[in-house]
Amino acid sequence: MKKALLQACALSVGATAAYAGGLDRSGQGINLIFEEGSVAQFRLGYTNPSVSGTLLDANPGSPTNGQVVDSGSVANDFFTPHLGYKTALTDQLDFAIMYDEPFGADIEYADDYPLSINPVPFGRTGETLRAKADTEAITALLRYKFDNGFSAIGGVRAQRVKASVTVPAAAGYDVSTDKDIAFGYVVGVAWEKPEIAARVALTYNSKISHDLSQNESFNPLPIPPIPPGTVASVDTSSEIETPQSINLDFQTGVAPKTLLFGSIRWVDWPQLDYSPPAYIGIVGRPLVDYDDATFTYSLGLGYQFTDQFAGAVTLGYESDEGEPVSNLGPTDGFWSIGLGGTYSLENAQISGGVRYTDIGDATADGGFGQTADFSGNSAWSVGFQITYSLG
């Protein structure tokens, strides 16, 4: 099976930046470890989401009380970079090191949205309901190949996290964390039959626990002796876990020049609970938490059109849970279609891809017993990848 076809299939799945459940961004794929020989790889995905909703404002003190208020376009564009190097240490032992940004969020609501309004008299104004979370990870992997087509995979992952969240409706609350680095691991097993381009790989990504130092600030009620406009600021700490996950990837030749491929990804989102102490004191519940794990599926077909060019199409699906979601991630499931293509040069495989995602409708807590409705949302993603053979 031509290498260009394998690259086109990988691009149509991965390089076009998934818009999946929770804070999932990269999918934590390890396909680089299966490349032949020594290679360097660079990939960049870009996603332009369109996510908005409406809320009937039931806050008696709000200037829009009794009106339906639009959230604005709450999800900002984002990039998903990937950089990797793979080499064969021996005939049976491969090594790869990869950089990616596995999880993230960049959400900001309109300034007249009810949850963007501080209810404390003389409290600070001008802020909006927003959240930004960034993770960066470096993963080092070893793969040992047995003589029967099976191989064992293992490695370590170093991950750095930083986040900031503003919830004006919670007494003008704001939290900003320091960067924290923590470690996890990856283990897996794979089976291959090169004659028919068959491969099945099962990998487990451990949870990673971060101890976050942070500053929380808010406006206490101006009750004497507290003067109006007072800002309380406190340095605290919280533990947060990025969730464990399991990836099942498979592919096989089904006809001359034709490859069937797909994946299933499970992410244990209930492990992620972010509960800053001051926020708990104000609101009485976590700032970020999830009730359900997610399953994300993809299935695709690739075809080698010429010796130099191959293309692939992929369908993706994530079921909706039908439960209220966080305002900091107001989506619930999706379906998607992606197209990818790869052109082969002498030592390089150059790939491009595009994906359309129909984002599932969701409801979120709007306060005062109301729910916000997010529907009719979507995202476009594009990606570029170059894999260069080093011999």
In contact, 381 and 14? CB cutoff 8 Å: no
In contact, 231 and 217? CB cutoff 8 Å: yes
- pLDDT value at residue 60: 77
300: nearest Cα among 7, 70, 9: 9
Euclidean distance between CA atoms 270 and 290, whole angstroms: 5
C-alpha distances out from residue 178 to 134, 272, 309, Å: 11, 18, 46
199: nearest Cα among 258, 250, 248: 250
Give the total residue count for the chain.
Answer: 391
In the chain, where are the structural domains located?
A: 3-389
Euclidean distance between CA atoms 107 and 125, whole angstroms: 18
Residue 277: which residues within 8 A CB-CB, separation 6 or more? 216, 236, 238
- pLDDT value at residue 13: 52
Per residue of the chain (391 residues), give pLDDT as tens: 566 666 656 655 554 455 666 789 999 999 999 999 999 999 999 999 999 999 988 877 778 888 999 999 999 999 999 999 999 999 999 999 999 999 999 999 999 999 999 999 999 999 999 999 999 999 999 999 999 999 999 999 999 999 999 999 999 999 999 999 999 999 999 999 999 999 999 999 999 999 999 999 999 999 999 999 999 999 999 999 999 999 999 999 999 999 999 999 999 999 999 999 999 999 999 999 998 999 999 999 999 999 999 999 999 999 887 778 888 889 999 999 999 999 999 899 999 999 999 999 999 888 777 889 999 999 999 999 999 999 7
C-alpha distances out from residue 372 to 68, 70, 117, 205, 366, Å: 10, 9, 16, 34, 5
CA atoms within 13 A on the CB side of 344: 17
Q: What is the DSSP string of 154-194?
A: EEEEEEEEEEEEEETTTTTEEEEEPPEEEEEEEEEEEEEEG
52: nearest Cα among 351, 385, 376, 332: 376
Topology adopted by domain 3-389: Porin (2.40.160)
- pLDDT value at residue 366: 81
Euclidean distance between CA atoms 212 and 242, whole angstroms: 12
In contact, 259 and 249? CB cutoff 8 Å: no
Is residue 280 classed as helix, strand or coil in its secondary structure?
helix
This prediction's pTM: 0.94
Euclidean distance between CA atoms 355 and 312, whole angstroms: 12
- Which residues partner with 336 through β-bridges? 316, 357
